[in-house]
Amino acid sequence: MLRRIPLRAYPPLIRYVLRRRFQGNRPPPPSGLSDAELDFFFGGTGAVEQRLASSTFRFFSPSDFGESALHARLLADCDSILAHRLELLGQTVDLGNPIAWRRDFKTGYEWPREYISKLKLVMGEGDVKAPWELSRFHHGLTLALGYVATGDERYPREWLAQVDSWRSDNPPEHGPNWGNAMEAAIRAVNWIAAFELMRSSPVFDRAFSESILKALIQHGRFIASHLEEYWPPTNHILSNYCGLIWLGLYLRGSGLNPRRLGEADRWFELGLRGLTQQLRLQILPDGASYEASTAYHRFVTEMVTSTVRLCELNDVWVSPAIKGIAAKMAEVVESLQRPDGTLPLFGDEDGGRWLWPHLLPRPPATPPPSPEQSNTAQERREGKGVGGEAGWASFPHAGWFALRDGDEYLAIRAGDNGQAGWGGHAHNDALSFEYAIGSRTFLVDPGTFAYTADPEARNLFRSTAYHNTLRVDGQEISRIPPGELFRLENNIKVRVRVGSESWEGEHSGYRRIGVMHQRRFEKQANGWLINDTMTGEGNHELEWFFHFAPECQLKVERLHVQTMFADGPNIRLEITNNQLPITVTEGWVSPTYGRRENAPIVVYSMTAKLPMTVTFIITKL
Distances (CA, A) of 23 to 184, 225, 274, 527: 17, 9, 22, 59
**Interatomic CA distance for residues 457 and 486, integer angstroms:** 13
- Domains in the chain and their CATH numbers? 2-282 (1.50.10.100), 376-620 (2.70.98.70)
**Residue 122 scores a pLDDT above 50:** yes
Q: Which range, of 76-80, 181-185, 283-287, 368-372, averages the lowest pLDDT?
A: 368-372
Sorting pLDDT into bands at 50, 70 and 90, what band is 24?
low
Of 1-15, 240-254, 385-399, 507-521, which gets the smallest average pLDDT?
1-15
pLDDT higher than 80, residue 64: yes
Residues in the chain, total:
621
Q: pLDDT confidence of 559, banded at 50, 70, 90?
A: confident
pLDDT of 511-537, one tens digit each? 999 999 999 999 999 999 999 999 999
Handedness of CA 192, 196, 202, 203 (dihedral sign): negative
CA distances to 131, 254, 541, 572 from 604, rounded to whole Å, are 42, 68, 11, 15
Rounded-to-integer distance, Cα 137 and Cα 148, Å: 18
What is the rounded average pLDDT of the residues 86-94? 92
> Which of helix, strand or coil describes residue 568?
coil
Phi, psi of 105 (to 5 degrees): -70, -10
Which is higher by pLDDT, 501 or 140?
Answer: 140
* 168 has a pLDDT exceeding 80: yes
pLDDT at 363 (0 to 100): 58
Beta strands in 357-508 (DSSP E): 385-386, 389-390, 392-395, 400-405, 408-413, 432-437, 440-443, 470-472, 494-498, 502-507
**Which segment of 234-238, 357-361, 541-545 scores lowest on mean pLDDT?**
357-361
Q: Which alpha helices (H) appear in 291-354, and where do they start and end?
A: 294-313, 320-336
Buried b (16+ CB within 10 A) or exposed e, 203-232: bbeeeeebbbbbbbbbbbbbbbebbbbbbb
3-state SS, residue 619:
strand
Helix axes 154-169, 74-82, angle to 10 degrees: 50
Reduced 3-state DSSP string for 92-154: EEECCCCCCCCECCCCCCECCCCEHHHCCCCECCECCHHHHHHHCCHHHHHHHHHHHHHCCCH
pLDDT of 549 higher than 90: yes
pLDDT digits (tens, 9 = 90+) for 384-409: 433 333 479 999 999 999 999 999 99
Paired with 528 in beta bridges are 523, 618
- Residue closest to 420 by CA, chosen among 490, 329, 476: 490
- pLDDT tens figures, 172-228: 999 999 999 999 999 999 999 999 999 999 999 999 999 999 999 999 999 999 999
Q: Residue 45 pLDDT more than 90?
A: no
pLDDT at 70: 56
**What is the mean pLDDT of the segment spanning 485-499?**
93
- Residue 355 is classified by DSSP as S
330 SS3 class: helix
Q: Classify residue 592 by its DSSP letter.
A: E
> Which residues does 550 contact at the CB level (< 8 Å), separation at least 6?
589, 597, 598, 599
pLDDT value of residue 385: 39
Pairing type for strands 440-443 and 432-437 reads antiparallel
Tens of pLDDT, residue by residue over 400-447, are 999 999 999 999 999 999 999 999 999 999 999 999 999 999 999 999
Q: What is the arithmetic mean of pLDDT over 219-239?
A: 95
Q: CB count, 10 Å around CB of 68?
A: 19
Sequential DSSP letters for 373-396: HHHHHHHHHHT-EETTEETEEEET
What is the DSSP-derived secondary structure letter of residue 611? S
pLDDT of residue 577: 77
Per-residue pLDDT at 404: 92
The pLDDT of residue 259 is above 80 = no
Distance CA(123)–CA(179), nearest Å, equals 13
Of residues 259 and 343, the one with the higher pLDDT is 343
pLDDT at 85: 97
Check whether 373 has a pLDDT greater than 50.
no
* pLDDT of residue 27 exceeding 80: no
Using the predicted structure, report yes or no on whether residue 616 has a pLDDT greater than 60. Answer: yes
Largest Cα–Cα distance in the chain?
84
pTM of the model as a whole: 0.93
What are phi and psi for residue 395, nearest 5 degrees? -125, 75
- Which residues are CB-contacts of 191 (< 8 A; sequence separation ≥ 6)? 137, 140, 163, 212, 215, 216
Pair 492, 416: CB distance under 8 Å: yes
